[in-house]
Amino acid sequence: MPRDSENVLPFRQSDAPAAPPHNIEAEQALIGILMMKPEQIAPVTQIVRPEHFYFADHQEVFAVIEGLAAAGSTPTPISVKGYLPRPNIGDRPAIAYLTACTGELLSWDAVSYAQVVRDLASRRALLAIAEDLSGKAHTSAPGTLAQAIIDETEQALLDVRAVVPQAHLAGQSAPEASAWMLNRIAQLRSGMMGSTSISTGLHELDRVTNGGFQRGQLWLLAGRPGMGKTVVMTTLSRLAAKTAGVLVYQCEVTRDQQIARYLADLSYVHNRPLPFGKIMAGVEIDDEEAWRIEQAAASFDKLHLRLECEPGVTVAQIAFGVKAEKRRLAKVGVRLGVVFVDYLKFIKVSDRYQGQRVLEIGEISGSLKQLAKSEDICIVLLAQLNRGVEKQEREDRRPTPADLRDSGELEQDADAVLLLFREAVYVERKLKASPTPELADRFTKVQHRLELILGKNRSGPPCTLNLWCDVAHSSIAQTTRGGT
């Protein structure tokens, strides 16, 4: 730190009572180190931007340093001074001030100073949000709901959250990247590092996706009504929760229905399954069924699963929920792995693209993709397919990614697109309209058949998996289930 830092710049802001949080010495030290050690500019720019500095002069200096480095020039005090808009900084010549900043420093660690600058900038942003919230709470026009103010505040908090760069997102040079990858492979082969993927519980799906749910990815699970989206989500979330933390946002069905689905899945016995509707009703259950439900509940208790059943959520609420669940699970030594959202229609969006559904969908899918990457989790978003699948002239009703409803952004942002197809849905419709022995026989053959079509798969080849399902009893499996 410069010895004469107190005399370098007589900023009036620092003398003002209740001045916003700032640290002039940290800002001076940071720009001083960057002029002396330009190799530290790259990691620092991952943490702070010019606007994170409290003093306008420091914002301008940092921007010039950043620009010179990007152009391949060395940002010395002399070169920086030539690009500043004014000859003076405060009441001193710019060259004298910049030289003073490169004087005797207590530390050469620019990243530490950058973290201080960024943290104080976040604190100032928090104060601004608090003042804005207070103003809105006092003066918002009649008809403005408190929930709307909360939603805006949550989004603002999310936007200014000070995030220390995470290891899985850090930039690397080519030599650093290859060394890191070779070390990772060696650790995986030796067993010193566990798999970074989360098993889906279906060995064929794990095989074609290179291990299952991949951290940092956005998966889409899509189908027409009646194809079993919620059933598949129920089983996959249950199976994933055996080995990793799972957070489920169930926005479509009620809490009692979703929990009943879990218990129906866990209590499944071949030829004696319990319909989730019967579990939900709870009045016509005999002693043996009650015992099975209790055993299923005991198994459910062991899962690392949290269920949220709000009728609608924002992306900001999902992000805050993810962070809160990560903290909760960390206390018991568990890592959050997968977040399920059922389903896209019930995610509330900002007013930015109000009425423009394609742009709204793009905002949702893009935000969820970034959330998956930043929080190192896999997000599975349930979505609807458009009505084109149902057209009479369409001979093959098996869906493709082009059938995703509302926006091509979904297919673009997704790392995996899982499309559901049950032939039994269409055979049953024909059977009800005109019963024939051939249709009845066909329905018997395909009643429990579920095709899981991987229309997009960044971790492997597109393919189709044939699964067993029992929609009425909320269960899917690799093969026919013969017991619990």
Instruction: Tell me if 5-120 shares its fold with 194-477.
Output: no
**CATH number for the domain formed by residue range(s) 5-120:** 1.10.860.10
And the tokens for 349?
Answer: 């969006």
What is the average pLDDT across 317-327? 90
Distance CA 327, CA 330 (A): 5
The number of CA neighbours under 13 Å toward the Cβ of 476 is 27
Determine contact, residues 423/447, Cβ cutoff 8 Å. no
Confidence of residue 2 (pLDDT cuts 50, 70, 90): very low
- Across the range 45-67, mean pLDDT stands at 92
Query: Pick the residue with more confidence: 143 or 436?
Result: 436
Q: Write down the pTM of the prediction.
A: 0.72
| pLDDT at 466 (0 to 100) | 94
Residue 3's pLDDT is what?
Answer: 47
pLDDT at position 107:
79
Instruction: pLDDT band for 1, please (50, 70, 90 cuts).
Output: very low
Q: Grade residue 295 by pLDDT with cuts at 50, 70 and 90.
A: very high
Spell out the domain ranges in the chain: 5-120, 194-477
Distance CA 179, CA 26 (A): 34
Report, as an integer, the average pLDDT of 124-128: 91
- Name the CATH topology of 194-477: Rossmann fold (3.40.50)
pLDDT beyond 60 at 282: yes
* Predicted local distance difference test score (pLDDT) of residue 452: 96
- For position 243, what pLDDT does the model report? 93
* pLDDT, mean over the chain: 86
Q: With pLDDT > 90 as the criterion, what percentage of the chain qualifies?
A: 50
pLDDT band of residue 482 (cuts 50, 70, 90) is: low
Cα-only R_g, the chain: 29
Q: Give me the pLDDT at residue 27, please.
A: 94
Q: Percent of the chain scored above 70 by pLDDT?
A: 90
pLDDT at 247 over 60: yes
pLDDT for 168 beyond 60 = no
- Residue 449, H or E segment: strand 449-457
Distance CA 63, CA 201 (A): 51
Burial class for 17, CB neighbours closer than 10 Å (0-12, 13-18, 19+): exposed
More confident of the two residues 389 and 15: 389
Does the pLDDT of residue 60 top 90, yes or no? Answer: yes
